[in-house]
Homo-oligomer: A and B are copies of this chain.
Amino acid sequence: MNGINIAYIGGGSRGWAWGLMSDLALEPALCGTVRLYDIDMEAARENAIIGNRLAEREDVVSSWRYEVSASLEKALAGADFVVISILPGSLETMAVDVHTPERYGIFQAVGDTVGPGGAMRAFRTIPLYIEIAEAIRDHAPDAWVINYTNPMSVCTRTLYRVFPGIKAIGNCHEVFGTQKLLARALEEVKGVQDVTREEIRVNVLGINHFTWITRAAWRDIDLFPVYEAFVEKHHAVGYESEQTGNWMNDFFSSANRVKFDLFRRYGVIAAAGDRHLAEFCPNRWYLKDAETVRAWKFSLTPVAWRLENQKERLEKGRRLAAGLEPFALQETGEEGVRQMKALLGLGDLVTNVNLPNRGQIPSLPMGAIVETNALFTRDSVTPIQSGTLPLPVLSMVERHIRNQEGIVEATFTRDRHLAFQTFLNDPLVDLDLPEAEACFRAMDQGYFD
């Protein structure tokens, strides 16, 4: 299919943009144009050069043109798809999100989703998403919008709040990692080899980065007893696959001990990385202090590392643009391009995405952004009824949903008081009132002035 128009918003951080280029280059069914828009226009320009270079290569099986758009509006006009992957603020700002709370005894492994860091990141991202949503409403109301930016739930919620008619989904690969882990368990427990993650059927429900699997199967094999055996064997010491990932998840390894512990508690499979899962639970469980974190065998990613890594990526970008380094084509494992194909009518797909709750999880508040499986078919994404969660898990999920609602409401209405009370309701914020106030104040980069 020719003539597909994709608007790519963001991409200055390079990685996600290159991933999309790679996936498009390897997909023979689609050709067209990608319009790049980033507030760092230089970044967009460099990405366009890198993208257009691919046209010459023989191992590229499709034809895509990359253009830089001078404005959001221009990028959006005529788009069939809008991909959003922005870095809200700078990594320096993110350092405040992640490390300032450490002064108050709150440790965060990622700091981009929930917890004090997630809240602050939300406060500065939502205003950007309001602008983006208004622009989509006005310039590309029929486009399918694929969001990759975190915090996923509040970003997607903002899109729908501004423009209820938007056709937006939120994508995240965390569940895929759990599918891979289930394939490992299948191999170890049952001796079945070479099963791909796509073959692992899972019933997914929850919220992004705190997503759960309540049924899993490979062909006719129920994977719950398989996983149970696997967990019983490994939970004490942990399990680390020898597998290495792409840039997106490589150095972020864990021993899955949090995931195993949650399975032993609740009997359902937590489907995100341990670093994310830990942040959704009460402070004391997995993140009490550095020693606790070490015992659970995951790491707290320092923003200093991200800065270093960013520098490397920028340098790599310059080399790629200058033709000094070849662009490495490889499938990212992301599903954005597969989803586009399904939405264009080129084959159905069932996968997990983030969408407003219209009844797919009837026990959670309607309108909350939830993550479940959905059926993708031509111009249509329909979520699948996913049942419910064990009560204590449901309760934890609900609490985060209310916090997301509070964060969005507070940002829309500029209500600092609500923002702070919501901040205080986060399970990681195990502080008394004056401490919490001090922490909030130290972290607030002008969001509620």
The chain A residues found within 8 Å of chain B, CB to CB, are 1, 201, 203, 215, 217-222, 261, 265-267, 282, 284-285, 288, 344-346, 348, 350, 358-360, 362-363, 365-366, 373, 375, 377-380, 382-387, 390-392, 394-396, 398-399, 402-403, 405-406, 409, 417-418, 421-422, 424-425, 430-433
Contacts and interface: CB of A to CB of B under 8 A. Distances in A.
B375 A384 contact: yes
Contacts of A386: 382
Contacts of A346: 219-220
A202 to B, nearest CB: 9
A378 B217 contact: yes
B265 A378 contact: no
Contacts of A282: 430
A345 B202 CA distance: 12
Q: Is the interface of A mostly helix, strand, loop or mixed?
A: mixed
B285 A433 contact: yes
Given A265-B421, A350-B348, A398 B396 contact: no
6 contacts: A201-B377, A220-B346, A384-B385, A391-B409, A395-B399, A430-B430
A359 B64 CA distance: 41
Contacts of A344: 220
Given A220-B344, A359-B385, A391 B379 contact: no
Contact of A383 (B215, B385, B432): B385
Contact of A345 (B203, B217, B358, B360): B217
Nearest to A399: B395
Contacts of A406: 391-392, 395
Copies per complex of this chain: 4
B201 A378 contact: yes
A398 B391 CA distance: 12
A422 B421 CA distance: 24
Contact of A285 (B267, B365, B378, B432): B432
A425 B382 contact: no
A284 B201 contact: no
A447 to B, nearest CB: 18
A399 B400 CA distance: 11
B392 A421 contact: yes
Q: Most chain-B CB neighbours within 10 Å: which of A220, A221, A266?
A: A220
Nearest to A386: B382
A395 B392 contact: no
A17 to B, nearest CB: 26
A379 B222 contact: yes
A225 to B, nearest CB: 13
Given A346-B219, A384-B382, A392 B425 contact: yes
A222 B344 CA distance: 10
Contacts of A422: 391-392
Contacts of A201: 345, 348, 377-378
Given A222-B378, A382-B385, A284 B431 contact: yes
Nearest to A347: B219
Given A384-B382, A402-B394, A425-B396, A362 B373 contact: no
B348 A220 contact: no
Contacts of A403: 395
Contacts of A358: 359, 362, 385
A218 to B, nearest CB: 8
A185 to B, nearest CB: 16
Given A284-B432, A362-B358, A395 B396 contact: no
A418 B398 contact: no
